[in-house]
Structure 1
Amino acid sequence: MTDAIQLLVGTRKGAWIYRSDASRVSWRVQGPIFLGSIVNHLVLDPRDGRTLLMAASSGHLGPTIFRSTDDGETWTEAAKPPAFPKSDDPRARSVDHSFWLEPGHASEPGVWWAGVSPPGLFRSADGGETWESVAGFNDHPNYWDWCPPDAGTPDGSLLNQVVIDPRDARHMYIATSSGGVFESHDRAETWRPLNENVEANFFPDPYPEFGQDAHYIALAPANPDRLWQQNHCGVYRLDRPGTRWERIGKAMPAEVGDIGFTVVPHVRDADTAWVWPMDGTDVWPRVSPGGRPAAYRTRDGGATWERQDKGFPTEQGWFTVKRQAFCADRAEPMGLYLGATNGEIWMSGDEGESWRQIAAHLPEIYSVSAAPLS
């Protein structure tokens, strides 16, 4: 193994794969793949190092999942992509798009999980060929309270994330744009809200049991009992076995705020994480505050934050980073990678101290994931 990596990039108009040399300086590009299709997520299975799954939507095929085992050269469509069971219920759901793809636990080869819009959880046991609705969430008695049909977001209401405890395949978290965070201890059979002390907009009680918009959650790889959350209303941290989230983003500079889509924890230091703030004023323009893009890093669990903007435009930089488009590798020093809404990819090879652009002129970037090259 070397420090060479591949960046798997999903955009509004197709997918691209960028592969680096061992120093992460030079990059070669493969793509476009499925030019014109919306690609919400493109992920490599870390358990075999060769299976790629793509969540895509096209005018011809609609929402579906594609699979490749030859480095993205050829693709096959899932025989049975995620779809809600047919129903006569007037509120019957149909999958608008698959948003998040998550490889299953290391002990469960072939298992994948998918989050879709409208909010729904699906599971595959055969490497992404066929998918089944997860009744424990999709048919939960409280589903319509947790995921009301009128809880819209610009791209539709989402089950936008699946996170699995690396120590226990039965222990899972999901994040939704309508009900907040939920937790299961029995491999998705039952769920409960996990939103204590997290603010929600448009509620008489600003801290309800559910109703939050959890933009992103992440376990700290160095300590899976620490969870980070970038919420519609700020940046939070939760240390288990506790259940109360603390809003650590209030320590961010007031002129920047702590509104954003994503959070990236350090792979070896549980106290370190990065966020990418965006303008969270009343009109929510979804751009860098003041047109001055920057990442912010904490190295003390959120007590303090430092601005990291070396290499970014110092003015007139009106872009932001979506929830799936900020990631890290496992090298030393750790590399950070982000895809911007203006079609640029940026990287830092020194944990955010400096940044450089490695790609431009792509369509709007929806997701970036990093995986090693063997």
Structure 2
Amino acid sequence: MAQEQIVILVATRKGAWLFHGDTARRTWRADGPHFLGHIIHHLVLDPRDRRTLLAAAKTGHLGPTIFRSMDMGRSWNEAVRPPAFSPESGGAGRAVDHTFWLTPCHADEPEAWYAGTSPQGLFRSEDGGITWTPFSTINEDPQYRQWMGTVQDGTPDGPKLHSILVDPRDPRHLYFAMSGGGVHESLDGGRTFTPLVEGMEVVEGFDPAEVTFHDPHCVRMCPANPDRLYQQNHCGIYRLDRPARRWTRIGRTMPPEVGDVGFPMAVHPRDSDMAWVFPMDGNDVWPRTCPEGRPAVYATRDGGQRWERLAGGLPEAQAWWTVKRQAMNTDTLDPVGLYFGTTSGELWMSADEGVQWSCIARHLPEIYAVEAALLP
């Protein structure tokens, strides 16, 4: 009987790579580049069939689109109808710049996917990523359009809808986040969404009662307990335990000289008390580098009451990079493997839940997203 293998899916500014390894995580084989020269924002393997790959791409000649592979990247087919705003929601100057986030739908919907775009839009495919249509009413809703801000607002690469989460117990229970524009929840399969921003802070001088000023960077649902959400925000690290609606800022227990500003978040697949973040320098100029050029992952094993610095094997000085919001993730092995990609094109991994690190690849383009999956 063939043994399972692990694959690390790496999306970069100039293409995509697949790194195949054995489950001992000692040896790795690089497969790529795919789409050399094109921006790949997200590369995801469907966990429901473990053979369908979707790539969110922005190409020079095709613009924003999505590609699909059924043979682990040996061949790709472009979406017949990629995500695009309807005339009603488009308006002057509003067009999809790129698809930023891809999420497989519930296990009971085997061909369905969600996509989040920049500027903020929510889309769904019912045929495995071949055709996409606007989903829910948020793309056209005047209140949501106000919360989304203008095309010029948001992050340096443009405002985004991201962190699309599906409750594994109920396909009608959904979350998504907007940067900017807060976290939102649906209990009716996406017909309606409501903000979920209580307890979240905003930049000093702005009103936290205004949803548009909320800037979640990454939201994760705990596989072991879908009622627990973690969030890395522009203004701290948070946890939410449903049915409560108020987020608790658990990043205040981070070392004060490091702070709790960053982009990515990862959660343990079997222990809802354990999560990891990658802090960055959050001083006034936001240089988007490791604090003092000393990269480290910080882990909590008790839901955020305490944090532990994990940096074994990482550079001890003069490492002036950071990790983007989609570029840190885990596998599901035991012990859990942790992976992150850097803005300087390095792919790092830990086979012991972050204690010791080794570099899988160097000199890649700037890494936008990292996913880990098991192959049959």
TM-score, length of structure 2 as denominator length: 0.97
Aligned partners of 2:136 and 2:182: how far apart in 1? 19
- Listed as ranges, the gaps of 5+ residues in structure 2 are none
Aligned to 2:21: 20
State the match for 2:214 in structure 1: 212
Corresponding residue of 2:312: 310
User: What value does the CA root-mean-square deviation take over the aligned residues?
Assistant: 1.4
Name the counterpart of 2:196.
194
2:46 alignment partner in structure 1:
45
* Distance across 2 between alignment mates of 1:236 and 1:338: 21
Residues 89 and 71 of structure 1: is their aligned pair in 2 closer, same or farther, counting only changes over 3 Å?
closer
Percent identity between the two aligned chains:
57
Whole-Å separation in 2 of the counterparts to 1:104 and 1:270:
22
Aligned to 2:59: 58
Distance across 2 between alignment mates of 1:119 and 1:83: 11
Asked if 2 retains the 8 angstrom alpha-carbon contact of 1:200 and 1:207, the reply is no
Give secondary structure in 2 for the equivalent of 1:143. Answer: helix
Counterpart of 1:147 in structure 2 is 148
SS at match of 1:137: coil
Q: What residue identity is the alignment partner of 1:131?
A: W
Aligned to 1:105: 106
What is the identity, as a one-letter code, of the residue corresponding to 1:330?
T
Contact 2:272–2:303 (8 Å) recurs in 1: yes
- 1:251-262 equivalences under 5 Å are 251-262=253-264
Structure 1 residue 265 displacement after superposition: 0.8
Q: Which residue does the alignment assign to 1:226?
A: 228
The partner residue of 1:364 within 344, 363, 366 is 366
* 1:316-364 deviations in Å (ceiling 9; x for gaps): 1111110111000010000000011110000000011100001101000
* CA distances 1:177-216 after superposition (whole Å, capped 9, x unpaired): 0111010111111111000010112654245445311100
- Write the distance in 1 (CA, Å) between the matches of 2:89 and 2:218: 33
Aligned to 2:323: 321
Contact 2:89 2:140 in 1 (8 A): no
In structure 2, give the amino acid aligned to 1:323: R
CA distance in 2, matches of 1:88, 1:258: 36
Instruction: Give the whole-Å Cα distance in 2 for the aligned partners of 1:151 and 1:88.
Output: 18
SS, match of residue 249 in structure 1: helix
Q: Deviation per CA, 1:259-287, whole angstroms, max 9, x where unpaired?
A: 00011111111111000000111111101
Shift of 1:3: 5.7
**Runs of 4 or more above 3 Å deviation:** 87-92, 206-210
1:138 match: secondary structure: coil
1:175-186 superposed matches below 5 A: 175-186=177-188
The alignment of Structure 1 onto Structure 2 pairs a total of residues equal to: 374
TM-score normalised by L of structure 1: 0.97
